[in-house]
Structure 1
Amino acid sequence: MFHVGDIVARLSHRQDIFFRIDQLNSNVNGERSAILKGLNLRLLADAPVTDLVSKRPMEIANYEREDNKMIYKKLHKLTSQRKVDQDDQREFFEIPGRVLQLDGDQDYLSQCIKTYRQMGIEAKGICKSEIEQPRVIRKILQENPADILVLTGHDGFINGKIDFHSMDSYRSSRYFVESVLEARRFQHNRDALVIFAGACQSNYEAILSAGANFASSPKRMLIHAFDPVFIVERIAFTPTDQIVSVKDILMHTITGTDGIGGVETRGQMRRGYPRSPY
């Protein structure tokens, strides 16, 4: 028996990704299926219950440990580079860009906000489902001034679909597109409000066309829950008089250019002088 909240993997995919069961459903024939959310990937998928296998606590711990090691390596590289940059500019103080993140997953959101703050970035997180985000984004932006907006959650290319351009082929892409359009009606300048939007396998071209600076997923790949954090860190700590190198910024992500892409964007950090001794 499976229950909502159980950690499982799919037999048909060689148990490569661990998921948390989000919903359990039954059809008219009594066949049961599950809606699954990736444990560390922003993927929303479905599977018949017969395709699922429960994961033991030790397996989950090992899976999370390997994932944490990968995240730590990326964060260590980012912070080490930033320390070198700061040492070269010791007489200045820094005000990194402010972040506002809307996410359809409270667990992911909490992890992201905690990491932003550990890196010295002012950040606020608001949990809103993907379908809610377009309706609330303008009001939230009015009440929470930000330099960088992150619109994330879960997505996925629906099994059996063949049109990569149709919004009907994706679970959440239309909501990310609508949210970006609403945010751009509030602030049209891509350098005054930097936007990252999308999740696993999202309609990359449509999200960028709506006005996002960065989006997923060029090759309809899975993206890691922390990939938006790595993008935001580089933008937040790049001075406003510099253009963020798209190629360089993507090298700092876990997914790389298969999962995330974007356009040239100004940094959002302001330097001040002189630095106070207090």
Structure 2
Amino acid sequence: MKQGDLVTRKSYGGDIIFKIQEVRSQYAVLRGVELRLLADAPLLDLEMSHQLDSYHDTAMLRPKWLDRMRQQDTAAAMPQQSWTGAEQPASGGALTPLPKPKVKPVYFDMPGKVLHLDGDPNYLRKCMNLYGELRVPAEGYYVAEANMPDAVYRLLPQVRPDILVLTGHDGILKNRAGADITQLSSYKNSHNFVNAVRVARQFEKNRDALTIIAGACQSHFEALLQAGANFASSPARVLIHALDPLCVAAKVAFTPIRDTVNILDVIGLTYSGLEGLGGVESLGSYRRGVPKLPYLNSN
């Protein structure tokens, strides 16, 4: 077996498909294809998986909400017409046709801007491709989880996003007997995400001026919300899909600023559902503008 091979773990019943990231002596470092999971396993515990090739890898990572999000995007940009009725009575009582309805100027879109910090460069690349496909303006940076607080402090004043995504890898530490899952010390990276959220809230305290989506697999959900996140993982300490944070960010980006994001709707579209993601009521960050000019690029 070599780097890049797709494998499953026999000891876990082949429940998750991994890609070999690195081979070290008799062990392999594994990265989940769909789930934000890093693991290691003996080479003898691995078996090749032929369920995915490079095409199917991409296809499986295309979330089920993609087409619905595209339809929402298209509908938001459609021109509207001004009608008072098809015809109206004249002074003599006869019906006369009204002039042709006036078409209002076509809107241009201003979805919320996303700053996406990811502790996994492969997932970041997939996320950035999908942001582009959805026409969500986004800047993405690969940042190790331990460096996220410093990166947030440096990047927020430069990028000035409407939405901040902080994700990567996390998990409950298994080498600590009787670990208390209420304590941040029981998690691999939750304390780093929490510190990054706190730095962001020092920059912008208003949860509707800056929407924060934070966490990864098995993250300390309650601590992230208390630190100031709008949405976080993982209420039931489960694994989350690589694109689940992006799903929430895209929904916020295309929800009008006067409307509250429908929490159950957006989380119902994610792979992990309410076990993997939760949050508090938050306003959207989508705006419309007129007129739409041929040379205007709203993104």
TM-score of the aligned structures, taking structure 1 as reference length: 0.87
* Counterpart secondary structure, 2:36: coil
Deviations 1:226-277 (A, max 9, x none): 1112111110011111111111111221221111111111111111133346
Letter in 2 for 1:254: Y
Contact 2:78/2:107, CA 8 A, preserved across alignment? no
State the 1:61 CA deviation.
1.6
Give the structure 2 partner of residue 260 of structure 1.
277
Q: d(CA) in 2 for partners of 1:33 and 1:163?
A: 29
**Residue 171 (structure 1) aligned with residue 165 (structure 2):** no
Give the structure 1 partner of residue 19 of structure 2.
20
**Residue-pair matches, total:** 269
Q: d(CA) in 2 for partners of 1:72 and 1:208?
A: 25
Aligned-CA RMSD value: 2.4
State the 1:51 CA deviation.
2.4
State the 1:135 CA deviation.
2.3
Moved more, 13-22 or 179-188: 13-22
State the 1:138 CA deviation.
0.6
Unaligned runs of 5+ in 2: 81-103
Contact 1:240/1:267, CA 8 A, preserved across alignment? yes
Q: d(CA) in 2 for partners of 1:194 and 1:187?
A: 10
Contact 1:37/1:154, CA 8 A, preserved across alignment? no
* Counterpart secondary structure, 1:142: helix
**Residue 128 (structure 1) aligned with residue 122 (structure 2):** no
In structure 2, relative to structure 1, the CA distance for the partners of 1:72 and 1:150 (3 Å cut) is: closer
Give the structure 2 partner of residue 59 of structure 1.
51
In structure 2, relative to structure 1, the CA distance for the partners of 1:277 and 1:35 (3 Å cut) is: closer
State the 1:16 CA deviation.
1.4
Give the structure 1 partner of residue 96 of structure 2.
none
Give the structure 2 partner of residue 10 of structure 1.
9
**Residue 226 (structure 1) aligned with residue 258 (structure 2):** no
Aligned counterpart in structure 1 of residue 39 of structure 2, from 45, 50, 61: 45
Give the structure 2 partner of residue 196 of structure 1.
213
Deviations 1:10-33 (A, max 9, x none): 11111111223445567xxxxx54
Q: After TM superposition, where is structure 1 displaced by more than 6 Å over at least 4 residues in a row? A: none
Q: d(CA) in 1 for partners of 2:236 and 2:283?
A: 25
In structure 2, relative to structure 1, the CA distance for the partners of 1:105 and 1:180 (3 Å cut) is: same
Give the structure 2 partner of residue 106 of structure 1.
121
Deviations 1:143-198 (A, max 9, x none): 22211111111112223554211222222111111111111111111111111111
Give the structure 1 partner of residue 73 of structure 2.
82
In structure 2, relative to structure 1, the CA distance for the partners of 1:81 and 1:136 (3 Å cut) is: closer
Q: d(CA) in 2 for partners of 1:265 and 1:7?
A: 39
Letter in 2 for 1:44: L
* Counterpart secondary structure, 1:196: strand
Give the structure 2 partner of residue 73 of structure 1.
64
Letter in 1 for 2:18: F
Give the structure 2 partner of residue 29 of structure 1.
none
TM-score of the aligned structures, taking structure 2 as reference length: 0.81
Identity across matched positions, percent: 43
Letter in 1 for 2:51: E
Superposed, 1:198-213 pairs within 5 Å as: 198-213=215-230
Contact 1:244/1:264, CA 8 A, preserved across alignment? yes
State the 1:215 CA deviation.
0.7
In structure 2, relative to structure 1, the CA distance for the partners of 1:76 and 1:225 (3 Å cut) is: same
In structure 2, relative to structure 1, the CA distance for the partners of 1:192 and 1:169 (3 Å cut) is: same
Contact 1:45/1:156, CA 8 A, preserved across alignment? no
| Structure having the higher Rg | 2
Unaligned runs of 5+ in 1: 27-31
* Counterpart secondary structure, 1:131: helix
Contact 1:37/1:45, CA 8 A, preserved across alignment? yes
Give the structure 2 partner of residue 92 of structure 1.
107
Q: d(CA) in 1 for partners of 2:280 and 2:265?
A: 12
Give the structure 1 partner of residue 30 of structure 2.
36
